[in-house]
Every structure is written in C-alpha cells, then in structure tokens.
C-alpha cells in the first residue's frame, strides 16, 4: 500500500474545495504517513482564475502550511509545494520559487504560460512540445515528480507515433533524473473518451507500457480537489485494472523517492 500522496490541492486554486485541515484529516484516516500539498502555482502578472491560485495568496499558503506542519507533526508529515508548469520564459521565476517550498511536481497543462490548454486539442507538434517542457523541468532539477505524464491524451483520440515519441522523451528524462512518473487517479473523472475499447485519457495504457520498458519508478497521485478523494481506494483498483499485466516499478513509501 502506498503511504503518501504528493498531489493535493486546496481551495486556493478556485476549482478545489474544502478546508486544509479536512485534507489532512482525510490523509490521516487513509493511514498515510506523508501528505504533500501541491497547489497550482501562479505566474507573475498572469492570473487564470479557474486554474491556479492568485499571486497574492502565495505567502498565506506557505505560512498556513508551515503552521499546520507543526500542529500535526505527531500524526502525519506535511510537505508544502507547488504543481508547476514549465515555460522557458519563466525559468528564473521557477528556480527562485523552488527555494521557498519543499518540492515541486510538474503537471503541464498549457503550451504557453498564459493559455493554450493541451486538453482542447493536442496536435503531433504539441505532443512533442509538451514532452520537451517536462524534459526541461527535469533536466533543470526543478522536480523529481511528473504528474499525469500522459495528460496530452485528453486532447487526442489515438496514441500514434508522435505520442510514442513523446513518451520516450519523458521516460528517458525521468530515468536520467531519477524522477517518478505519476499514475494520476483523477483522470477517471473524465470518463471513457474512446469508443473502440474501454479507455480513459489517463492513465493511458500505451504510455505506461513504454514506461515499463525503461523501468521508470511510478506512484499513484490522487490529484485531490476534495478531501474525501484521499479515501477513495477504489480509484487505485480501477487504475490497476487499466494497467494490468504491465510490469511497473511501484514506489510505496516516501523514503524511496528523491523529492
């Protein structure tokens, strides 16, 4: 059983719900040893209200989590971080923010820091751009955790050669940097997007088949936007069913990660 979850949101991103302490309590009830908060990081001068927290809330977020770390230290280890997206023109900002928190996860959703979501439509060229953005973040040492590495499949209806290439770029970079690839437990909420067979956008079986060839480390990430999500173990069963028969290097304890 995995005893940590490093992909947790808070109300500050404007599309998640519940109080911080409800997430912590849910993680304790789920017998987790480590809960990591990874709020969607804002970028200077850009605010996308439905997607990320506001710049002005960053200090409050960090300070509140610091207090909660102390308050719950005998019950659970709390980490505070951000879910980042990598953009060349935000490199210095990202590096400076890294020192302010415990960790970053990379969850690339946009092609540009102010727009173009990959889930609307992801061309072959976009798929490769997406992979290189993740590769750069890993090579720069910004993160060791790739959230929903197969996110681009939300904007696709088939896993073609470009998708294979992207998977190879991401898996190569993960191995090179000893990073973990997340099996995102929140992709199930989009339902089955493919009519030829039972498939969800993510986790996407073809992607993880390539990850297994590289022996990439993998872990589950709830991507919780509601506290009770942390107690939904059935999501793990469902994802294991999707990935059945693929030999993956599952990480079960936080100590096995280089966060």
Residues binding Zn ion (CB under 5 A): 83, 223
Nearer to Zn ion, 87 or 222 (CB): 222
Closest distance to Zn ion from the beta carbon of 147 (Å): 6
CA 240 to CA 236: how far, in whole Å? Answer: 6
Nearer to Zn ion, 69 or 226 (CB): 226
Closest distance to Zn ion from the beta carbon of 145 (Å): 11
Closest distance to Zn ion from the beta carbon of 15 (Å): 6
Nearer to Zn ion, 82 or 254 (CB): 82
Q: What is the DSSP letter of 41?
A: P
Tokens of 2: 């995995």
Nearer to Zn ion, 48 or 170 (CB): 48
Chain position carrying tokens 């990379």: 106
Closest distance to Zn ion from the beta carbon of 203 (Å): 14
Closest distance to Zn ion from the beta carbon of 208 (Å): 19
Sign of CA dihedral 227, 232, 233, 235: negative
Among candidates 80, 32, 81, 7, which has minimal Cα distance to 252?
32
Closest distance to Zn ion from the beta carbon of 79 (Å): 15
Q: In terms of C-beta distances under 8 Å and separation of at least 24 residues, what long-range contacts does 229-235 make, across chains too? A: 229/26, 229/185, 229/186, 230/5, 230/8, 230/23, 230/26, 230/27, 230/29, 230/30, 230/32, 230/35, 231/26, 231/29, 231/30, 232/185, 233/30, 235/185, 235/186, 235/188
Nearer to Zn ion, 148 or 162 (CB): 148
What residues contact residue 237 under an 8 Å CB cut-off, 6+ apart?
Answer: none
Nearer to Zn ion, 81 or 174 (CB): 81
Closest distance to Zn ion from the beta carbon of 86 (Å): 15
Nearer to Zn ion, 134 or 162 (CB): 134
Report cis status (omega within 30 of 0) of the bond before 78.
no
Query: Measured at CB, which residue is nearest to Zn ion?
Result: 223
CB 94 within 8 A of CB 142: yes
Closest distance to Zn ion from the beta carbon of 9 (Å): 5
Nearer to Zn ion, 20 or 223 (CB): 223
Among candidates 76, 81, 100, which has minimal Cα distance to 21?
76
Phi (first) and psi of residue 215, to 5 degrees: 60, 40
């Amino acid at each position: 059983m995995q005893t940590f979850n490093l992909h947790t949101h808070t109300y500050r991103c404007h599309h998640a719900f519940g109080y911080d302490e409800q997430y912590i309590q849910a993680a304790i009830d789920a017998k987790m040893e480590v809960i990591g908060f990874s709020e969607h990081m804002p970028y200077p001068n850009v605010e996308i209200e439905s997607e990320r927290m506001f710049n002005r809330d960053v200090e409050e977020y960090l300070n509140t989590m610091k207090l909660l770390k102390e308050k719950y230290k005998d019950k659970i280890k709390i980490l505070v971080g951000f879910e980042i997206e990598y953009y060349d023109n935000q490199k210095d900002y990202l590096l400076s923010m890294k020192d302010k928190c415990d960790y970053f996860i990379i969850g690339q959703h946009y092609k540009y820091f102010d727009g173009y979501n990959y889930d609307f439509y992801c061309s072959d060229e976009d798929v490769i751009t997406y992979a290189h953005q993740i590769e750069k973040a890993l090579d720069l040492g910004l993160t060791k955790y790739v959230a929903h590495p197969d996110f681009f499949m939300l904007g696709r209806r088939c896993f073609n050669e470009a998708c294979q290439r992207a998977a190879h770029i991401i898996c190569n970079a993960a191995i090179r940097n000893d990073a973990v690839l997340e099996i995102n437990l929140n992709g199930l909420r989009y339902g089955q997007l493919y009519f030829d067979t039972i498939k969800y956008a993510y986790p996407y079986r073809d992607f993880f088949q390539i990850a297994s060839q590289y022996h990439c480390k993998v872990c589950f990430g709830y991507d919780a936007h509601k506290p009770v999500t942390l107690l939904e173990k059935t999501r793990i069963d469902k994802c294991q069913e999707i990935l059945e028969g693929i030999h993956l290097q599952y990480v079960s304890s936080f100590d096995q990660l280089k966060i």
